[in-house]
Amino acid sequence: MSSNDKKGGLFAGVLAGLLMVIGGTGLLWWNEGNNVRNIKTTDEIEKTVVEITPDSNPAEYDGKLVAMGGSFIVEDVSLSDTTFGVSVHTAALSRVVEIYQWEEESHSDDDGTTYTYKKVWEEGLIDSSNFSNKTGHENPTSVPYESGAEYAENVILGNYRLSSQQIQQMDTDKALSASEAKTLPEGFKADGQYVTNSADLGSPKVGDIRIVWKYNDWKEVSLIAQVSGTSFVSWTSEVGKTRNYVTGGVHTAAEMIEDMRNTDKMMKWLLRLGGFLLIFIGYMSFISPLTKLVGYIPILGNVVNFAFALMIFLLSLAQSLIVIIIAWFRYRPLLSIVLLAAVAVIAVLFFMLKKKNAGKQPPQNPQPAQAV
């Protein structure tokens, strides 16, 4: 590799690291604001929502935020995949097409980056033209069938009709048997839950295809949304967040709100972790030339690089916490002040107690003089 290529690679690594640090910082800042908006939204739902039954009069609740649950009816004829002759009476039907193909994985260490390859079933084509080592790892560039979904248009819940947005939230969570496919294209066969062109799904070859159909198997549905006529639309909170919540089974408003809160909390912590990792990886990119150089030192190199990684970890953690704290002052100033005041009081009490205990310690007995 020429010196210009090395300089270019070094510059690209530093630039990528800078972008990751900036991106991670921005993600942490946005996430704290978004979390506050989510909290205010669920609190507003809790105060505003009206719990009703499916047989209530839609005109009475038009424009209001409601919660309800019960058994639903799909008035449409069966949903179909005419290509394969699949038909099932359901609210939602999906065709999942997977291709057996190569997947590239990169592994970086002090000696550089190495690439390994494994075969996987993957929905959607993996572009092998960007692989580091293309020889012997060529993936197909086209597939005769693609994944897709069909949804019913008339799902009735008592005196109400679910909107298309709500129907599309109804999971396709149960697989059909491949025997439901009445029309098999040439070269395809039924094998368990799959229709496939593979000679042996237990030992597939690159380019083999397997297809499975999944459908919504719910018998009951619950929702929180705004009534509009005899149907529903998304409800917008005072802070601008929208909610149009749908889940399987019959649940109370309190249960659905709690589920919203749990989902928001999980996303908050996942995004916090994502922001921290972006910052950590970004800083590691900054010092990668130094770690590579130190890595050539026998034994000591590994120790020094571990110290570097620990230092970057602590720096990234500190930066993440600082961003979160500053964001709290921006989005939750009152709570931040209360928490800081509580910490200050605890610190003062701790030092006062420590000083008081120090004052109570008995004086040490002087050592008797030794006879000469």
Cβ atoms 139, 206 nearer than 8 A:
yes
Give the number of other Cβ atoms within 10 Å of residue 13's Cβ: 16
> Is residue 61 included in any domain, yes or no?
no
Residue 20 near residue 279, CB atoms below 8 Å: yes
Please state at what angle helix 3-48 crosses helix 253-286, rounded to 10 degrees.
160
Total count of domains within the chain: 2
- What residue numbers bound the domain in which 344 lies? 9-50+251-356
For residue 58, being part of any structural domain is answered with no
Query: Where is average pLDDT lowest: 112-121, 226-235, 363-372?
Result: 363-372
Backbone angles phi, psi at 77, to 5 degrees: -70, 170
Sign of the CA dihedral running 277, 279, 280, 285: positive
Strand residue runs (E) in 199-302: 209-215, 220-228, 231-233, 235-236, 242-243, 245-248
Instruction: Please determine, for residue 253, whether its predicted confidence score (pLDDT) is greater than 90.
Output: yes
| Whether 92 and 140 share a structural domain | yes
- Answer whether residue 225 is part of any domain: no
Same domain, 113 and 177: yes
Structural domain includes residue 364: no
Answer with the residue of higher pLDDT: 332 or 94. Answer: 94
pLDDT of residue 5: 47
Please write the tens of the pLDDT for every residue from 10-40.
566 678 888 999 999 999 999 999 999 999 9
Same domain, 203 and 130: yes
- Residue 51, pLDDT above cutoff 90: yes
Tokens representing residue 193 in the block: 């839950």
Residue 305: inside a domain: yes
User: 261 and 340 share a domain?
Assistant: yes
Q: pLDDT class for 306, splitting at 50, 70, 90?
A: confident
Round to whole Å and give the CA distance between 68 and 327. Answer: 36
Spatial contact of 97 and 119, defined as CB atoms under 8 Å apart: no
Whether 256 and 299 map to the same domain: the answer is yes
pLDDT of residue 79: 96
Q: At what angle do helices 253-286 and 300-331 cross, to 10 degrees?
A: 140
197 and 99, same structural domain? Answer: yes
Answer whether residue 113 is part of any domain.
yes
